Amino acid sequence: MLSTQRIPNLLSRCGHAFAEGVAWSDPSCSSPDRRYMFFIGHGSSSRGGISAIRHRTLIIMSNHVALVTGAAQGMGRAIALQLANDGFDVAVNDVPSKTGPLEALTKEIDNIGRTSLVVAGDVTSEVQVKGMVDDVVAKLGSLDVMVANAGIFQKSTLLDSPLEEFDQTVGVNAKGPLLCYKYAAKQMISQGRGGRLIGAASAASKRPYPGGLSYVMSKFAMRGLTQTAAVELGEHNITVNAYAPGFILTPMLEMYDADSAKEQGHAPGEFIERGANALPLKRVGTVQDVAKLVSFLASDKASYITGQTYSIDGGLVPS
């Protein structure tokens, strides 16, 4: 929130005609104090002066803010850019070793006209996740949408895989979203205007497959977290939903394809091609396909939807 003493400076830097009862925002304004303004009262509008708001009630609200984990590449990166295009200021997270790609992403978001922030950290660490949320609120003003997108994949089987690999996969894919939801929800409740918690499930959260034990278990857990959190947080006007991608062209899918080629002796790309041909839509999905679904779930259009896991898989797992 801006103080009343700073209002004239803001208006002088970003002068606009204000109409009664009309919300205003200006992405072209370079001021770090850019906000949504609502004028309630009577009187004619004017341009660029404090007289425009004399004898009126002025309510200034922060821009809506989203935090996307696992944003350095793939679906997370596309989601962050989509939310910026939707009008959100966006904080982006990944592990510290990916700070370079995150900083490049923030420049793209800045070019869209939104404010961005890098909050590198480990989503499996409760201390670091709490610190991420606190940092976003301190620097961007609020937190309205949490997208728990970070995830990893390791091939695993019941009989042969070490427990350490299971702990690592479940730690990132299930514990990570749990911590992100916990501290984002606490912040949203304190703000008193609701919010959106959105997480990455998978087609594997609805249909298991051999060689994916830890991953499948972690994604089934993501669906359970989504449903339980939705029940608990509904009274605070916080919706909780997940997206379940199938064959989406990402670095993770390309890595799996390369491993499959080495193990089974087929040509690179053959695994992806076979998978696409088995789908009703006969194509691999794009990260933009996923980002558009997240955009919907983060919007007011999805305000009466909660506890759901939406497949985005070209028809791989009909429901």
| Active-site residue flag, 219 | yes
- The catalytically annotated residue of 181, 183, 215, 310 is 215
- Ordered DSSP codes for 277-313: HTSTT-S-B-HHHHHHHHHHHHSGGGTT--SEEEEES
Q: Please check whether residue 305 is in contact with residue 93, taking contact to mean a CB–CB distance below 8 angstroms.
A: no
By C-alpha distance, which of 213, 218, 207 is closest to 278?
Answer: 207
| Active-site residue flag, 304 | no
Q: Please check whether residue 175 is in contact with residue 124, taking contact to mean a CB–CB distance below 8 angstroms.
A: yes
Longest dimension (CA), the chain: 77
Calpha distance 270→318 (Å, rounded)? 24
- The catalytically annotated residue of 98, 181, 219, 243 is 219
Calpha distance 245→313 (Å, rounded)? 5
65-97 burial: b if 16+ Cβ within 10 Å, else e: bbbbbbbbbbbbbbbbbbbbebbbbbbbbbbee
- The residues carrying an active-site annotation are 215, 219
